[in-house]
Copies of this chain bind each other. A is one copy, B any other.
Amino acid sequence: MSSIIGNKIKVSVFGQSHAKAIGVTIDGFPAGFEIDMDELGRFMERRAPGRNAFSTARKEADLPEFITGVLGNVTCGAPVSALIYNKDQHSKDYENLKKVPRPGHADYTAQVKYGGFQDVAGGGHFSGRMMAPVCIAGSMCLQYLKKQGIEVYAHIKSIGGVSDDSVDMADCTQEMLANVKTKEFPVINDDKGMEMQEVIAKAKADLDSVGGVVECVITGVPAGIGEPMFDGIENRLAQALFGIPAVKGLEFGNGFEAALLRGSENNDSFAVKDNKVVTKTNNHGGILGGITSGMPIVFRVAIKPTPSIARQQESVRLETLTEELLEIKGRHDPCIVPRAVPCVEAVAAIVMMDVIQAGEHGF
C-alpha cells in the first residue's frame, strides 16, 4: 500500500506539492463509463485553494488532464491516469524546514524515515495538496455510485466548538445535505456557518489556526455489504480516512457518545417501513458486525488545526540538536476543515465503490 488503496479498484496517488505534477492512476475502473468532466471540475473546485478569505492564497486551477484510460471521456478498461501540473510554487519558502522541523507536521518523521532525501518543498508528498488527485478518483467514484443509487454527503459538523445542525441519522434528508455541495461554505445551517467563519477569521487574525469535525452520510447502500472482522465497512473506511492529512479521529454512528450510554439507549430497535426492515434510530451508523444494515452510513472525522501557523514556535535544529524558535513562512489555511469536506466524500466514495465492485457472490 502506502500511496495505493483498494482491492478491486486500486487508486495509486503520486506527486509532491512542488513536483512537475501530481497525479493518480485508477486501476480496475469499469470500462464504458462516461466521466462528466463538468461535474468533475466542480468537484475539484470545492477542494481547490484560494476560494475565499480563509484558505491559502495559492491559486491553482487544479484541473486534471487525463493521460490514459479514457477515449473521449469514456473509460476503456485500461488504468485511468490523470495529472495536475504544478505551477505557482514558491519552493524557496520551505528550504529551512529540513533543518528545523515544523511542529505538528511530518517534517521530522520524514527526515528520520527518508534520511534527508525527502522533498520538503510545500510539504512534499505529505502535503494536503496530494488530496487533489484523490479527489479526481473520488469524483469518478461518486459519479459511478450515483448511478447505482448511492450518494455521499459531507458537511462541516463543527469548527472550533461551533456546531452545524444535527443530521437525523435514521432519516437523512438528502435534499438538506445535497444543498451543502453547492455552498461555498459547506454547512447545513448558514448562520452557524457564519459563526464558524468568524472563528476562523479570529484565529487567522491571531496568526493561529483552528480544527473541526466533518460528518459524512452515505445513502443508498443496500444491506448485507461488507465482511466480518478485519474487512468490514468500518475497517475499510477507517484505513482510508486516516490517509487524509490532519485526521486524528473517526467515529461511526453514536461513536464516542455510545461509550456513555446504556445498551437500552444505544441499541436501535428494528421496525418495518415500506415493507423493508429498518431501524428506528441509527446509533449504529449503518454498520453492524462490519456489514451494512441498509440504514445510512454515518461517520465523523476529527481534523486537527492546521499545524502551519505564522506564530513563532519551538523547534530543534536537527544537525546541532539545539532548540530554537521557528517562524514558518509560506501561505497556509487558517482552517483546513472546509476543504476537507470534499476530500472526505472522495475517500468514502473510493472505498464504497471498491466494496461494491468486489460484489457479493452467492450461487
Residue A14 contacts which of B32, B69, B109, B231 (CB distance < 8 angstroms)? Answer: B69
A361 to B234, CA, bound (A): 23
One of A47-55, A168-176, A177-185, A209-217 at the interface = A209-217
A353, chain B: closest CB distance, angstroms = 10
A61 interfacial contact with B, CB 8 Å? no
Q: How large is the interface on A (under 10, 10 to 19, 20 to 34, 35 or more residues)?
A: 35 or more
CB-nearest residue of chain B to A264: B208
Question: Given A13-B79, A245-B289, A288-B105: A277 and B316 within 8 A (CB)?
Answer: yes
On whether the beta carbons of B239 and A248 are closer than 8 Å, the reply is no
Chain B positions within 8 Å of A69 at CB level: 14, 16, 19
A203 interfacial contact with B, CB 8 Å? yes
On whether the beta carbons of B77 and A113 are closer than 8 Å, the reply is yes
Question: Given A14-B67, A112-B224, A248-B253: A309 and B260 within 8 A (CB)?
Answer: no
Chain B positions within 8 Å of A342 at CB level: none
Residue A12 contacts which of B27, B226, B303, B304 (CB distance < 8 angstroms)? Answer: B27
A313 to B315, CA, bound (A): 56
Closest 4 CB pairs of A and B: A106-B289, A249-B251, A112-B224, A78-B125
